[in-house]
Amino acid sequence: MKPYVICHMCTTVDGKILGDRWGKLPGHKHHSDLFETTAASFGIGAWLVGTTTMDEFDGPKTRLPRAPKNFVRRDYIANKEAKRLAIGADAKGVLRFQTNEVDGDHVVLLVTERVGNDYLAHLQSAGVSYLFCGKKEIDLPTALQKLGAAFKLRKLMLQGGGKFNGAMLGAGLIDEISHVTVPVADGGVGISSFFDIPGDPPPKAAATLRLLSLKQLAGGVIWTRYKVIARHTR
């Protein structure tokens, strides 16, 4: 069964997501603390991000050693008991994890048939789990299905960036949205936003939401939660 997906993000009032442009937020140590504390309050152990966001957590881009000749290409679960998961999309095999944890969360990568055996062997030696989720692109429903089955996942937090969120929204796979709005107006055209779906925009917005809760946090930050009640998939 597909896990229930909550998309959690911190954005400016115009929906931009690049926190390094925000300066100091009064009442908060750093924008990442605001993001992490609000996310942690859900008590959900698994988070999922796109390749660019996951690239902020991996190691240097080293050359890979050769895989053994008889290497078998299939899903690899290094730790099926893991309760806390750091899940990243990696369709082309560009990430370079040298260890299998991000702050204690077990790293799981969603890969495609495009990735080479050297890469997969490297992941195995680093103790990183991986799931094949498509030929060239990550098939998102397959990815969720496999994650649910492999790790008995019932819920997960989708945590950016804009392109990956956009793909998940466009595919109709987001159940709930958790939106932390900081008192900043960005205004930059082309700055990554909450949901970035490429191509010409279709006539209808991607989803209709129902407000679940609204809270004011320190420093004029607003935290809203919404249920997705209608999806306009493309």
Instruction: Rank residues 152 and 202 by Cβ distance to ligand NAP and give the closer one.
Output: 202
Residue pointed to by tokens 């969603």: 110
Span near ligand NAP by CB under 6 A; candidates 65-73, 118-126, 153-161, 218-226: 153-161
d(CA 41, CA 84): 14
Q: How far is the CB of 196 from ligand NAP (least distance, A)?
A: 5
Instruction: Rank residues 41 and 80 by Cβ distance to ligand NAP and give the closer one.
Output: 41
Q: How many CA atoms lie within 13 A of 141 on its CB side?
A: 4
Alpha carbon distances (Å) from 209 to 42, 177, 193, 227: 19, 9, 18, 5
User: Of 17, 86, 184, 206, which lies in the binding site for ligand NAP, with binding defined by CB under 6 A?
Assistant: 17
Q: How far is the CB of 70 from ligand NAP (least distance, A)?
A: 28
The binding track of 49-88 with respect to ligand NAP, each residue x by CB under 6 A or -, is xxxxx--x--------------------------------
Contact 120, 92 (CB under 8 A): no
Per DSSP, which regions of 116-220 are E strands? 129-132, 155-158, 176-181, 207-217
List interacting residues with ligand NAP (CB under 6 A): 9-11, 17-19, 35, 49-53, 56, 89, 91-92, 137-138, 140, 159-164, 167, 192, 196
